[in-house]
Amino acid sequence: MNQIELIESFSEFKENKNIDRATMTSIIEDVFKRMLKKKYGSSDNFDIIINPDKGDFEAWRNRTIVADDAVEDPTTQIPYSEAVLIEPDFEIGEEVSEAIKFAEFGRRAILAIRQDLQTKVLEMQKDSVFRKYMDKIKDGFIVTGEVYQVFKKETLVLDDEGNELVLPKSEQIPSDFFKKGDAVRALVLRVEMINGNPKIFLSRTSPVFLEKLFEMEVPEVFDGLITIKRIVREPGERAKVAVESYDDRIDPVGACVGMKGSRIHGIVRELKNENIDVINYTTNLPLYISRALSPAKITSIKLDDETKRASVFLRPDQVSLAIGKGGHNIKLAGRLTGYEIDVYRDNEEVAEDVDLDEFRDEIEGWIIDELKNIGCDTAKNVLDLGWEDLVKRTDLEEETVKEVINVLKQEFED
């Protein structure tokens, strides 16, 4: 293998590995300095000139001219008799730069250079992939790749640069079914360096995956106008998402769902028809638990803050809705609110809740709309919240809020 072949091989590495100029220069320089040090004992007096764009390179050996009988270090000094063969005008004390002919190193040494270069490039590429995906974990990143191999316990995916990603069976939605060539979206879950090779693990079951899907589908979430306070999931079955907006003009639930469900339908399809409940977040625990148990309508709640338990009373026909299929609804509501929820049938005769629209003859329409904007759709929602919280969360005056509460209380007293 001669210098021309080496140049071609370096160009090939650059094309195949897509390494930038500075990195390629550093790799080649390091490889050659180690080779020169091995042959001459030191590489300090050598200049290596590299043009990685063309794959061209040169190496020059610099030595000081001394008298023939004064050579102490052949690595850094050259006898006068040898120097004048290079250039007749040279004098003792001057410096000679002599081009290195790589053919003199022998075929084995040159093959070793190529192997060393391959190893260095591969290490650099692995490190680059590792750092790239480690950065993506911090921000929560959804990658789109192509399935190229399906195993019983994992599915292998290639990203757009040909890097191998692993989607374990445990991180797949139960109804996921992939075949070679399918496009798949997943969250970058973690990155590990195993035996010097980066291994990137993906997830489609993580709550963060659902959060990032909302950011992609709902501009208000992406822009920070709507905040996702908490997400809990039973992958493939049901999810509950608590959202909040600091701008009273924005209905966070309506914005996330979209006109006729246009925004959330795309997310539901991606999650294999996982039911997604989007609810308004509130610091009012009874109201928050009531919303978390949606679509069930609760009658009353008793909280035990010490044990973090909530006793929820419902009409008999609402109990099954509160528990949900396979117990998913009540389980997710508990995880969302942080309370262990116990459901009881309410056998006592209690006044049923009344929709706020039923009071439009007694309460002005704009006031009812204002209450609905903060998630109070029924009379009991308003009464559970309390007048102080209502004044803080709406633009209503204190006197107006108290009048509304009196009207609603009168309904239940009658």
3-state class (DSSP) for residue 284:
coil
Angle at the Cα of 377 (from 376 to 379), degrees rounded to 5?
85
Structure tokens at 343: 């459901």
- Span(s) in the chain for CATH 3.30.1480: 3-127
Closest CA to 20 of 125, 132, 162, 127: 125
**pLDDT digits 0-9 by tens, 359-374:** 888 888 888 888 887 7
At 30 the pLDDT is 78
Name, of 38-42, 224-228, 321-325, 410-414, the range with top average pLDDT: 224-228
**pLDDT digits 0-9 by tens, 123-145:** 777 887 888 888 888 778 899 99
**pLDDT digits 0-9 by tens, 318-349:** 888 898 888 899 999 999 999 999 988 876 54
CATH class, range 282-349: alpha beta
CATH architecture of 207-274: 2-Layer Sandwich (3.30)
CATH class, range 140-203: mainly beta
Q: What is the pLDDT averaged over residues 138-163? A: 90
- Span(s) in the chain for CATH 3.30.300.20: 207-274, 282-349
> Residue 302: what residue type?
K
Q: How many helices (H) and strands (E) does the chain have?
A: 15, 15
pTM, two decimals, is 0.64
- The pLDDT confidence band at residue 350, using thresholds 50, 70 and 90, is very low
296 secondary structure, DSSP code = S
pLDDT at residue 21 is higher than 80: no
Q: What is the CATH number of domain 3-127?
A: 3.30.1480
Closest CA to 235 of 297, 168, 179, 146: 168
- The pLDDT confidence band at residue 389, using thresholds 50, 70 and 90, is confident
- The CA distance from 395 to 248, in Å, is 9
The matching CATH number, chosen from 1.20.120, 3.30.450, 1.10.150, 3.10.450, for 356-413 is 1.10.150
- Span(s) in the chain for CATH 2.40.50.140: 140-203
H/E stretch holding 227: strand 226-234
From residue 25, give the alpha-carbon distance in Å to each of 31, 159, 225: 10, 27, 47
Between 353 and 349, name the one with better pLDDT. Answer: 353
- The CA distance from 301 to 105, in Å, is 86
Between 18 and 38, name the one with better pLDDT. Answer: 38
At 56 the pLDDT is 63
Between 121 and 382, name the one with better pLDDT. Answer: 382
pLDDT at residue 228 is higher than 90: yes
- Span(s) in the chain for CATH 1.10.150: 356-413
- The pLDDT confidence band at residue 158, using thresholds 50, 70 and 90, is very high
Q: What is the pLDDT averaged over residues 375-387? A: 79
